[in-house]
Structure 1
């Protein structure tokens, strides 16, 4: 969790959508990811915030623009949010956030190095009722402090967090406000957003699949199977050789495509003399049966299972 990218992956894992076969009872979530840097660099301001509806980026804010701006399909929605008011709220949160980062660096007497402070908080509703909430922070990739709404209290997870706890709990009303935000305000906001967003969040898009091949003289052929433009994000892909499962040569990381959908590729190496059939298997909730793309050694690909396959 030491970089914005790492925390984003953590968030996506945490917020993976529920089984689409249970649409009536699936949860919806509203989450915020904050990142503060002691030494900002190009492309990464000193503070930035991202809001998510389920796993979809909803709006962003940073210390350069000082504006909360909607993203993706929400930039086309009128009346969903008062963006000027939201910008003021995020600016207030930025001030508190960066003061805390400076307090931590003072505690450790380290203002020379580059340090990262990150926070995540949000809530979930299911069947129009609050069904979960969280609020936690990390410093330089280590757990720092989290809010336990059952006590209620801030629970320190780092030596420096004792000071933060004392500061944030100096007045009991602040603890009650944090509890009320997680249990009441956040779910109410989420319910309001869902009036505009539920159709988009319930989208179900099957993957398109392509197979590409690359080889160099005397070397193994590299077969890449790519699934793209699918939602929700859960998918299973793997290669088989003559019905035997082969390990992928690359990590299987599902990545956002930038348009609200996802993509995933798996690669396998085929020795020059190998003429066995290699098959890429794709399983997704929007496909009634496993989709297969076959590579038969004659450098031809064909698809089975109801989806078109494109070979290059």
Structure 2
């Protein structure tokens, strides 16, 4: 594919105000277990995930945005609905946002986001193929003190451009990002104003959200644990230990037989349950000839000690 540079045109006067509120969260997507340890007591994050598509499939939006407080979805917006909608328990709180105003802001951000995607597509002269553009932005507080803020883009799943606060400057990670860097650094005050947003305005937003709904992030729901089993080939059984409805994320499930650890056959990812809590599971395969006691052990931050659930053939649910 030819990758000849093609200089696009843009309206800098329209673009710069949008850029000032368009801050992307520079951080790899971490496992929920890791994020749970990072948040911990007194640690909170506000982050946004933006996705744009050059050729969305029928019925799909070309732009969509999600806002998160820690792991909890705060609101969503997409170019098809055209409105920002609060999610989960945050929809029940008054004064979280002026949602009409937020809808207009997300519309402006989405338009600008797709223009940046178009620049990259034009640079590579590949308009017929579908392409994606993604970004994350946000900030963190530790004990009410700003502890980090981040900004990055990716094009077709690869790093595109990131913001370095300490310089400050945009750092290009893709040849096409040179166009973006030139646009965003064309105004002398823009970099300093962007840095100030990351270090001052975003933390202020996060503090306001915490004032309204910190109790939602600090809640602690202990897991419910169930054991099921079914027959496996060769005079064996699969035993599944499942934990449901726990929060915060981060849990350990393990099996033992007669006190000795068993190697799991399958371990399920920790997944949202749809009610603001999480679920996880682990499966072992054991011989029917071995009648030794079988137990599942569960460790979660809501319990000071490990919870042990013994398998009881009289009370357990058997799935044939």
Same structural fold, with TM-score higher than 0.5 when normalized by the shorter chain: yes
Runs (5+) with no aligned partner, structure 1: 1-7, 302-309
> Does 2:205 align with 1:200?
no
> Does 2:71 align with 1:16?
no
Deviations 1:37-96 (A, max 9, x none): 122135642111000011100000001011011000111111121001111111111011
1:241–1:278 contact (8 Å) kept in structure 2: yes
Displacement of 1:276: 3.1
Number of residue equivalences: 292
Q: Distance in 2 between matches of 1:19 and 1:166?
A: 35
Instruction: State the secondary structure of the residue aligned to 2:35.
Output: coil
1:18–1:27 contact (8 Å) kept in structure 2: no
Q: Which moved more, 1:264-273 or 1:77-86?
A: 264-273
Q: Distance in 2 between matches of 1:52 and 1:11?
A: 14
> Does 2:169 align with 1:169?
no
What is aligned with 1:112? 128
Matches within 5 A, 1:132-211: 132-211=148-227
What is aligned with 1:85? 101
Matches within 5 A, 1:19-34: 23=41, 26-34=42-50
Deviations 1:119-162 (A, max 9, x none): 00100112222111111111121111111111111111122212
Instruction: State the secondary structure of the residue aligned to 1:17.
Output: helix
Q: Distance in 2 between matches of 1:213 and 1:151?
A: 58
RMSD (Å), alpha carbons: 2.3
Query: TM-score when scaled to structure 2?
Result: 0.84
> Does 2:109 align with 1:69?
no
Instruction: State the secondary structure of the residue aligned to 1:288.
Output: coil
> Does 2:265 align with 1:265?
no
Q: Distance in 2 between matches of 1:189 and 1:235?
A: 30
Instruction: State the secondary structure of the residue aligned to 1:260.
Output: coil
What is aligned with 1:100? 116
* Rg comparison, structure with higher value: 2
Shift in alpha-carbon separation, 1:160–1:293, aligned structure 2, 3 A: same
Q: Distance in 1 between matches of 2:33 and 2:48?
A: 12
Runs (5+) with no aligned partner, structure 2: 1-26
2:75–2:86 contact (8 Å) kept in structure 1: yes
1:15–1:54 contact (8 Å) kept in structure 2: no
Q: Distance in 1 between matches of 2:192 and 2:148?
A: 17
2:46–2:70 contact (8 Å) kept in structure 1: yes
Q: Distance in 1 between matches of 2:43 and 2:50?
A: 23
What is aligned with 1:36? 52
Displacement of 1:19: 7.2
1:218–1:272 contact (8 Å) kept in structure 2: no
Q: Distance in 1 between matches of 2:220 and 2:142?
A: 19
2:32–2:249 contact (8 Å) kept in structure 1: no
The structure whose RCO (Cα within 8 Å, separation 6+) is larger is: 2
Q: Which moved more, 1:176-185 or 1:30-39?
A: 176-185
Displacement of 1:18: 4.3
Displacement of 1:268: 1.3
Q: Distance in 2 between matches of 1:103 and 1:278?
A: 60
